[in-house]
Structures are given as C-alpha cells and as structure tokens.
C-alpha cells in the first residue's frame, strides 16, 4: 500500500511514522510530505531512506492512504485534492471534525460508521479520544446524562516549540515562547483561542466532538482545559452522572474488559494512572474510581493517555487498520 504521511517532520507526523512501523502496517511505498522548507530532506522508515516531497507531487503519486497532521488550513486545502485522486485521507486537524458529512472516529467507540465511500475521515481531538474510550462502555451500560471534565495537558500537545519553551525555562535560557506565559512551574487554563461564550475552542471541541462520536446529542458535557509542564500524556479528572445507578465492582469490571482501556486502581499500593507511566503506550488508563458522594448515580475517575500516540498517531493508524481489515481500503 502506498501511504503518504503529511506533516512527516512534526511531532505527531514523526510519531505516526513510528507507530506505522511498530504496528507493521503494510506500507509498500512511503510518501513523506512536508512544507517547502523540508522538501528534499530525508527520513528513515523501516531501515530505508525516503526523500520528503511537497503537496503537489504527493497528490500526483496517488497514494492509497494519506494520514494528515499538518494543521487545519492545510487540510482544508489539500485533503479534497487527495480524495479527488482516489486517496483515503485520515486527518488529525480540527478542519473536518464537525463537518456533518465527515465521520469522526475513535475505533473502540464508533468504527462501525465507516464505509468505503468515506474519503476524508476526521481524527478527533486528543483529549476527546481518551475520554470517549472510557465513556463508551459506561454509557452502553448505565446511560450517561452529564460529564464534567478538567484536563491537565502535556506541552507536547502544542508541539516542538512548546517543548523547547519548557526546557529553555528549566535551563534559564531565553527563547521563543509558544505560550503567552511561562509554562514551567505553572498551569495555564488557556488551550486554543477563547470564544464568545468564555470557553476555549479546546473546551468546546470536547463538548461537541463527544456528542458526535458517541452518537448521542443528549449527553451534556462541560470542560475546563489546562496546560501543565509535563511530557508523556494528557490527564483528565472526569465526573460522570448516569441515568442508572451502578455497582462499583461491576463498573470496574466493565472498564477492565473494554477495548483499549487499562484499569490502574489500587490506591492502597499507590497505583493510579500518570503521564510518566502512560508515555509511549497506546492504551487509555483509568483509575481513582469512586462514587461522587454529593449526588446519586455519579462517578469520579482519573484518565490518562499518551496524547501523541492514542490521542493522535495511534488512533489514526487504528482507523486505517480497521478499514483495511474490513476491505474498505485496497489491500
């Protein structure tokens, strides 16, 4: 299969190449694509050197699959051109997520909606992905009424510039700022732009994407998203109100059996999810499972996942794997 990775030199693009290789995705020809300043450089994939090319040449190469991680404006311009050439596009930007004609997919939750006619498929926001992986089995059993989520997000979610800012600050080095404030020894409750309703775009992504992925407009979601000086993954404190009451042991067993979920919930031995231990893993980790004692039918939990892997690269590759297995991509 001819596979293009668009944005191949970025943090997510680099991770996509790593995940494709680790999961032995059947790449016969790799087409690494990046901005003009990177064209002509080489990357190594599966022990072989490949030369980075530009967008027009990539479209002309007619790949079977193109995985995009190059920003919304690039996706809006180029994804339709790839699709018109017969390429299936899986896009990691926010460009197509809320388009009513495009599928927004987390394989563990709603891969069944995919068809061979889907030529542009949206990969959800990293924070949303890890949350819905945990919500899905609980919604199926107890029916979710409302979700209150606060996030604690890694600097890697912003990109290379933010990682550099964090380490520059730790080393007392002047440098380019990815954020409007210092990030080291700080927490910034500002991810993406502020909207007229006082929420950030990141917060509203979690609200709107959750409903679309879960296929239920009745789930009420409210979010506060925060950037913190960590690497390795995003963390989320989630309060979930159900229509039905739950038995905590049954709920824990449901999560343990759910695809892509690992329960780490042994507080007596200080075992709970953390970014440090989720780093470079594809699963979503859940722990600190406990009843909300202030109201009925309500759970508190703590969810962590590697935002570059499950939150971006791995989820995109899993979509491609599902489509290949179901004959929705050329073998």
β-pairing verdict for 42-45 and 48-51: antiparallel
Q: Partners of 221 in the beta sheet?
A: 147
Task: Give dist(CA 15, CA 40) in Å, integer.
Answer: 20
E strand map for the chain? 2-6, 29-33, 42-45, 48-51, 65-68, 88-91, 103-104, 120-122, 144-153, 220-227, 234-242, 261-263, 284-291, 298-305
Residue in 126, 139, 279, 301 annotated catalytic: 126
CA 108 to chain centre: 13
Give me the residue label for tokens 């995985």: 67
Q: How is residue 141 written in tokens?
A: 């059993």
What three-state secondary structure class fits 16? helix
- Among 139, 234, 279, 301, which one carries the catalytic annotation? 234
Ramachandran class of 234: left when φ > 0, alpha when ψ lies in -120 to 50, beta otherwise: beta
- CA dihedral defined by 21, 126, 232, 161, rounded to 10 degrees? 90
The question of whether 234 is a catalytic residue gets the answer: yes
For residue 7, what are its two tokens?
A: 């944005």
Neighbours of 134 (CB within 10 A): 24
**Residue 133 near residue 285 (C-beta atoms within 8 A):** no
Coil, strand, or helix at residue 320?
Answer: helix
Q: Measured between alpha carbons, how far is 39 from 53 in angstroms, rounded to an integer?
A: 5
- Give dist(CA 124, CA 121) in Å, integer: 10
Positions marked catalytic: 126, 234
């Amino acid at each position: 299969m001819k596979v293009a990775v668009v944005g191949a030199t970025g943090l997510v693009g680099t991770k996509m190449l790593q995940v494709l290789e680790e999961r032995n995705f059947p790449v016969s020809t790799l087409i690494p694509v990046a901005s003009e300043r990177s064209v002509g450089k080489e990357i190594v994939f599966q022990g072989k050197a490949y030369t980075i090319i530009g967008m027009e040449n990539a479209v002309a190469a007619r790949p079977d699959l193109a995985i995009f991680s190059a920003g919304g404006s690039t996706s809006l311009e180029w994804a339709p051109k790839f699709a018109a050439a017969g390429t299936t596009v899986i896009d990691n930007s926010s460009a197509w997520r809320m388009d009513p004609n495009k599928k927004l997919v987390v394989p563990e939750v709603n891969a069944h909606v995919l068809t061979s006619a889907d030529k542009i498929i949206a990969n959800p926001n990293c924070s949303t992905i890890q949350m819905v992986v945990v919500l899905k089995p609980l919604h199926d059993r107890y029916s979710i009424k409302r979700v209150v989520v606060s996030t604690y997000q890694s600097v890697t979610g912003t990109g290379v510039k933010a990682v550099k800012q964090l380490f520059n600050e730790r080393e007392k080095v002047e440098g380019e700022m990815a954020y409007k404030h210092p990030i080291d020894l700080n927490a910034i409750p500002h991810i993406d732009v502020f909207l007229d309703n006082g929420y950030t775009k990141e917060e509203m992504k979690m609200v709107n994407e959750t409903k679309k992925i879960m296929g239920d407009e009745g789930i009420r979601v409210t979010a506060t998203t925060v950037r913190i000086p960590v690497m390795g993954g995003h963390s989320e404190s989630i309060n979930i109100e159900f229509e039905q009451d739950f038995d905590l042991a049954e709920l824990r067993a449901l999560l343990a059996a759910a695809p892509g979920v690992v329960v780490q919930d042994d507080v007596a031995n200080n075992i709970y999810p953390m970014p440090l231990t989720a780093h470079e893993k594809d699963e979503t980790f859940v722990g600190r499972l406990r009843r909300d004692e202030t109201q009925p039918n309500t759970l508190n939990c703590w969810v962590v996942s590697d935002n570059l892997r499950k939150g971006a690269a791995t989820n995109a590759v899993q979509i491609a794997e599902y489509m290949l297995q179901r004959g929705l991509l050329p073998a």
